[in-house]
C-alpha cells in the first residue's frame, strides 16, 4: 500500500507541476500524450484505492456533474471597488496627492493591468486551497470552490516555500478571447443568446451549478493582491513576486515606478500593447507599493485611497449603414444584421454587426443610410451603440422590420415574453430544415464527417434530403450528382453515416433539434428516461423532475413529439439502426438496493459524492437528479440544500445519513479514513 500511495503522491505532484508549466508559464515540458498517460494512470489508481482519494487531486479538476448551489460567507477583509479615472491628468493628480499625503517619504507606485473579468478571493490554509468566494456585495460573497478548482491555472496545493499558514489572495477570473470565441460560436450555432463580452461570460460561467461545464469553458485567472497577518514582505510588489513562486499567475506587466513620467509612459505603452494580450483588459491599476504607507493612507467609505483605476476609453468608429438583412436560424428566430461600410476597429475590419432583435432597432431609432457608431463589446463583438442624427439624410425613413419570413414568406410570430420574432413554418422553411440537417451531422451530435453547411444546403436543394432521417437513404451515386463530390469523398460520407448508427443515445437526443434542449440537458434527459419510447410518452410534469429540465424545456419536449413529422423522423431513424436507448448498464455486483431511486445532497465525510453514486449503482440502486414522489431515499450529508430538505419532508421521503446508507449496503470497507479537521475561519 505504501508503494501505491507513493506513486499516487508522485503523479499528483507531477501533474500539478505540468499544469502550472502549461497554463501559467506557457512553457510545457512534456507532450500532451505523456500528460494524458500520467493522468489516466492516476485516475486508475484512485479508482482502485478510493481510501487514498484527495478532494484537491488534479483528477477532480473537471468537476462533478452536481453542485448544490452556493452558500454565502462574509469576507475576512471587505472587497472594495477602486476609484476610477479616465485621463492621464487624473492619474497624475492622484500621484501628486499620494506624495502630499506622505511628505518626505519615498513613494513607489506599482502599475498593473486591470483585467476585465469577475473578482475572486481565495483562502489558503497550510498551503492548500480552502475557500473560493466571489466579490458579492463586498461584505460577503458566494462560495464557488468547486468551480474554481476546475481552473487549471489556479494552484490547489502551493509549491515553493515561504507562504504563510493562512492567507487570502485576490484576483480576477477571466475568459480568454480564444475560449470566448469558441463559446459564442457554440451558442450562435445553437441559437442561444451570445455573451456580450468575456467579462459577462466569465461571471456567468463561474456561477454555473455544473462544475463540469465550468471546466469545459476554459476559464483562467490572474492574481493581484495578497492579504494576511504574516506576509513575507512589507511591500506589495515583492509579495506578488512571492505569490508567483508559489504557483499563482501574476501578470508580468506589473511594474514599479517612482516618477510621473514613468506612470505616463506606462499608460501610453499599454493603451496600445494591451490589444496583443490573450485576455480582455479595460484599464490599468496604480497602487502605492509600501504596505505601511497603504495603512497610513487608509480607505474612503467605498475604496482605498492608496489605489486608483485608469479606464481605457472605448474605441468606436462612425460608419454608414448600407442595409439590413434578416437571417433565419435553425429554430426559426429572425435576426436583423447591419451591413456596414467597412471600418477599422480595434485592429480588425468590421463589415457586419448584429442588431439582435426589433426592440434594439427601435430603441436606436435607426434609419436607412444612417451614420452609426460601432463599438466592440469587450473588444470582440461589433455592436451599434448610437446614431449621428446630425448626418441623417433628408427624407430617410425608419428601418422597417420584416413581418414575413424573408425566405418562405410565412407571417412571423412573436414569442411571448421575448423580443424575438419567429418563422412558425418549422417543417417547410428551407433555412430551418437545412439548419437542422447541419446540426444533426455535427461533431458533438451524430459526427458525420463531410457534410457542412454548403453540403447540407446542396442535398436539400437537390431533393436528396428533406429532413435528417433521409440521410440514411443516401448512396454514393446520389452524392456523385453534387458538385464537389468525387468517389472517395462520397464513400467517406456514406461510411460516416453508417458509423453514426453507433452514436450513444444521449447524443441522438441532442441531434434531434428539440427546442431549448442543449448538449448537457440532452444527456441528462437520456439517462433519466432510458429510451426514446419513454421520452415520447412522459408528461411535461414528469419531465420537469429531471435535473436542469424546467417547465419550459419540458413543454418543448412534449410539443416536439406531439408533431407527427418528428415522430415519423424518429421511427425512420429507428428503422435505420440509430440507437434509441441508453446502453445497458453493467450488471450490479449485488442487488441490495433493488432498483431504489436515490437523490444525493450535501457534503460527506466517509466518501465523496461521486463514490456514493458509484456505490448506489453497484448495489442495484438508481441515481436521480431531483426529488419527486418516485424518489425512495435522500442520502444527505452536511449542509443539505434547504429546498431539497423541504420537498423531501413534504413528500414524506426518508432522509438517511451516510452511516445508515453504508449499513444498508453492508460494506463499511468502502469508507475513506475520516480526514483530520482543518480549522477554518468560516466553520
Residue 114 falls in the annotated catalytic set: yes
Locate 398 and state its grid cell.
425608419
Strands 597-601 and 622-623: parallel
Distance of CA 591 to the CA centre of its chain: 38
Q: What is the pLDDT of residue 567?
A: 96
If you average pLDDT over residues 42-71, what whole number do you get? 74
Helical ranges in 462-595 per DSSP H: 476-480, 487-499, 505-511, 519-529, 532-537, 540-543, 551-562, 564-575
If you average pLDDT over residues 537-551, what whole number do you get? 88
Please provide the DSSP assignment of 330-396 as one string.
TT-BEEEEEEEEEEEETTEEEEEEE--SHHHHHHHT-BTT-EEEEEEETTTEEEEEEE-GGGPPTT-
Question: Residue 678 — very low, low, confident or very high, per pLDDT cuts 50/70/90?
Answer: very low
Distance CA 260, CA 255 (A): 13
Q: What is the fold, at CATH topology level, of the domain defined by 2-60? A: Helix Hairpins (1.10.287)
- Tens digits of per-residue pLDDT, 410-431? 999 987 767 789 999 999 999 9
- Tens digits of per-residue pLDDT, 566-594? 999 999 999 999 999 998 765 555 778 98
Angle 639-640-646 from CA coordinates, rounded to 5°: 130
- Tens digits of per-residue pLDDT, 191-244? 677 776 788 889 888 888 788 888 889 999 999 999 999 999 999 999 999 999
Burial class (CB in 10 A: 0-12, 13-18, 19+), 633: buried
* Homologous superfamily of the 430-575 domain (CATH): 5' to 3' exonuclease, C-terminal subdomain (1.10.150.20)
Residue 107, pLDDT above cutoff 90: yes
Q: What is the pLDDT of residue 132?
A: 95
If you average pLDDT over residues 275-288, what whole number do you get? 91
CATH class of 597-670: alpha beta
If you average pLDDT over residues 94-113, what whole number do you get? 94
Q: What is the pLDDT of residue 669?
A: 38
Segment of 9-23, 75-89, 260-274 carrying the highest mean pLDDT: 260-274
Q: Which residue has the higher pLDDT, 474 or 418?
A: 474
Residue 474, pLDDT above cutoff 60: yes
Locate 38 and state its grid cell.
500520467
Terminal alpha carbon distance of the chain:
33
C-alpha distances (whole Å) from 657 to each of 306, 611, 633, 646, 675 are 51, 15, 10, 16, 18
Residue 681, pLDDT above cutoff 60: no
Q: What is the pLDDT of residue 61?
A: 66
Catalytic residue among 114, 249, 524, 613: 114
Angle 21-22-26 from CA coordinates, rounded to 5°: 85
If you average pLDDT over residues 475-493, what whole number do you get? 93
Question: Residue 63 — very low, low, confident or very high, per pLDDT cuts 50/70/90?
Answer: very low
Q: Output the average pLDDT for the chain.
A: 86
**So what's the architecture of 316-414 in CATH?**
Beta Barrel (2.40)
Provide the β-strand partners of residue 109: 257, 288
If you average pLDDT over residues 291-313, what whole number do you get? 88
Residue 513, pLDDT above cutoff 80: yes
Backbone phi, then psi, for 114, in 5-degree steps? -100, 100
Q: What is the pLDDT of residue 27?
A: 64
Q: What is the pLDDT of residue 212?
A: 82
Residue carrying C-alpha cell 483562502: 123
**So what's the architecture of 72-311 in CATH?**
2-Layer Sandwich (3.30)
If you average pLDDT over residues 486-498, what whole number do you get? 94
Q: What is the pLDDT of residue 33?
A: 60
SS3 88: helix
Q: What is the pLDDT of residue 586?
A: 53
Q: What is the pLDDT of residue 276?
A: 86
Segment of 354-368, 393-407, 465-479, 584-598 carrying the highest mean pLDDT: 465-479
- Tens digits of per-residue pLDDT, 24-55? 665 667 765 667 678 878 988 888 888 888 88
* Cβ pair 311, 82 in contact under 8 A: no
- Tens digits of per-residue pLDDT, 122-151? 999 999 999 999 988 788 888 999 999 999
Q: What is the pLDDT of residue 610?
A: 67
In the chain, what percentage of residues exceed pLDDT 70? 91
Q: Which residue has the higher pLDDT, 358 or 95?
A: 95
- Tens digits of per-residue pLDDT, 619-631? 888 888 778 888 9
SS3 474: coil
Segment of 232-236, 351-355, 360-364, 517-521 carrying the highest mean pLDDT: 232-236
Q: What is the pLDDT of residue 440?
A: 95
Q: What is the pLDDT of residue 670?
A: 42
Distance of CA 144 to the CA centre of its chain: 14
Domain ranges across the chain: 2-60, 72-311, 316-414, 430-575, 597-670
Polymer length of the chain: 683
Q: Which residue has the higher pLDDT, 484 or 36?
A: 484
SS3 253: coil
Residue 78, pLDDT above cutoff 90: no
Distance CA 30, CA 32 (A): 7
* Cβ pair 623, 616 in contact under 8 A: yes
Given this chain, do its domains 430-575 and 597-670 carry the same CATH topology?
no
Amino acid at each position: 500500500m505504501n508503494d501505491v500511495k507513493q506513486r499516487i503522491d508522485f503523479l499528483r505532484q507531477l501533474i500539478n507541476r505540468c499544469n502550472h508549466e502549461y497554463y501559467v508559464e506557457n512553457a510545457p515540458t512534456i507532450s500532451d500524450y505523456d500528460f494524458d498517460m500520467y493522468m489516466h494512470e492516476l485516475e486508475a489508481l484512485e479508482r482502485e484505492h478510493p481510501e487514498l482519494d484527495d478532494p484537491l487531486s488534479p483528477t477532480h479538476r473537471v468537476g462533478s456533474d452536481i453542485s448544490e448551489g452556493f452558500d454565502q460567507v462574509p469576507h475576512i477583509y471587505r472587497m472594495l471597488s477602486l476609484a476610477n479615472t479616465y485621463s492621464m491628468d487624473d492619474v497624475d493628480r492622484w500621484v501628486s496627492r499620494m506624495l502630499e499625503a506622505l511628505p518626505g517619504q519615498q513613494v513607489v507606485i506599482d502599475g498593473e493591468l486591470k483585467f476585465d473579468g469577475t473578482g475572486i478571493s481565495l483562502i489558503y490554509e497550510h498551503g492548500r486551497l480552502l475557500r473560493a468566494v466571489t466579490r458579492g456585495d463586498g461584505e460577503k460573497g458566494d462560495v464557488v470552490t468547486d468551480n474554481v478548482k476546475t481552473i487549471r491555472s489556479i494552484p490547489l496545493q502551493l509549491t515553493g516555500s515561504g507562504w504563510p499558514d493562512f492567507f487570502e489572495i485576490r484576483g480576477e477570473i477571466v475568459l480568454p478571447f480564444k475560449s470566448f470565441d469558441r463559446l459564442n460560436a457554440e451558442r450562435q450555432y445553437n441559437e442561444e443568446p451570445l455573451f456580450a463580452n468575456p467579462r459577462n461570460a466569465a461571471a456567468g460561467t463561474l456561477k454555473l451549478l455544473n462544475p463540469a461545464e465550468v471546466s469545459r469553458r476554459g476559464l483562467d485567472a490572474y492574481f493581484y493582491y495578497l492579504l494576511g497577518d504574516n506576509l513575507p514582505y512589507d511591500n506589495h510588489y515583492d509579495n506578488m513576486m512571492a505569490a508567483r513562486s508559489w504557483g499563482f499567475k501574476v501578470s508580468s506587466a506589473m511594474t514599479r515606478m517612482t516618477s510621473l513620467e514613468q506612470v505616463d509612459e506606462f499608460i501610453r505603452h499599454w493603451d496600445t500593447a494591451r490589444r496583443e494580450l490573450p485576455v480582455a483588459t479595460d484599464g490599468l491599476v496604480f497602487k502605492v507599493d509600501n504596505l505601511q504607507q497603504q495603512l497610513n493612507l487608509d480607505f474612503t467609505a467605498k475604496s482605498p485611497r492608496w489605489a486608483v483605476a485608469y479606464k481605457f476609453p472605448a474605441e468606436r468608429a462612425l460608419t454608414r449603414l448600407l442595409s439590413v438583412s434578416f437571417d433565419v436560424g435553425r429554430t426559426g428566430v429572425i435576426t436583423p444584421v447591419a451591413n456596414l461600410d467597412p471600418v477599422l476597429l480595434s485592429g480588425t475590419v468590421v463589415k457586419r454587426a448584429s442588431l439582435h432583435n426589433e426592440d434594439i432597432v427601435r430603441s436606436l431609432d435607426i434609419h436607412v443610410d444612417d451614420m452609426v457608431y460601432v463599438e466592440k463589446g469587450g473588444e470582440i463583438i461589433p455592436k451599434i451603440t448610437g446614431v449621428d442624427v446630425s448626418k441623417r439624410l433628408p427624407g430617410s425613413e425608419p428601418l422597417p422590420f420584416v413581418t414575413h419570413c424573408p425566405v418562405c414568406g410565412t407571417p412571423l410570430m412573436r414569442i411571448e415574453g421575448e423580443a424575438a420574432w419567429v418563422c412558425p413554418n418549422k417543417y417547410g422553411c428551407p433555412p430551418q430544415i437545412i439548419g437542422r440537417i447541419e446540426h444533426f451531422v455535427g461533431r458533438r451530435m451524430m459526427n458525420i464527417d463531410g457534410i457542412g453547411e454548403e453540403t447540407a444546403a446542396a442535398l436539400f436543394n437537390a431533393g436528396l434530403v428533406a429532413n435528417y432521417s433521409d440521410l440514411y437513404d443516401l448512396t454514393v451515386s446520389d452524392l456523385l450528382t453534387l458538385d464537389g463530390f468525387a468517389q472517395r469523398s462520397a464513400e467517406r460520407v456514406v461510411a460516416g453515416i453508417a458509423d453514426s448508427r453507433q452514436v450513444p443515445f444521449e447524443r441522438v437526443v441532442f441531434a434531434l433539434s428539440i427546442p431549448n434542449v442543449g448538449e448537457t440537458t440532452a444527456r441528462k434527459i437520456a439517462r433519466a428516461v432510458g429510451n426514446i419510447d419513454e421520452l415520447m410518452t412522459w408528461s411535461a410534469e414528469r419531465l420537469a423532475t429531471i435535473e436542469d429540465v424546467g417547465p419550459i424545456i419540458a413543454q418543448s419536449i412534449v410539443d416536439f413529439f406531439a408533431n407527427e413529422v418528428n415522430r415519423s423522423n424518429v421511427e425512420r431513424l429507428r428503422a435505420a439502426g440509430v440507437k434509441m436507448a441508453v446502453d445497458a448498464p453493467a450488471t450490479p455486483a449485488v442487488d441490495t438496493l433493488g432498483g431504489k431511486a436515490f437523490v444525493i445532497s450535501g457534503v460527506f465525510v466517509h466518501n465523496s459524492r461521486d463514490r456514493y453514486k458509484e456505490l448506489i449503482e453497484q448495489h442495484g440502486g438508481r441515481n436521480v437528479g431531483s426529488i419527486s414522489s418516485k424518489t425512495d431515499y435522500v442520502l444527505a450529508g452536511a449542509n443539505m440544500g434547504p429546498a431539497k430538505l423541504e420537498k423531501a419532508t413534504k413528500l414524506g421521503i426518508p432522509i438517511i445519513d451516510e452511516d445508515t446508507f453504508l449499513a444498508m449496503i453492508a460494506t463499511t470497507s468502502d469508507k475513506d479514513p475520516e480526514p483530520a479537521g482543518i480549522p477554518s475561519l468560516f466553520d
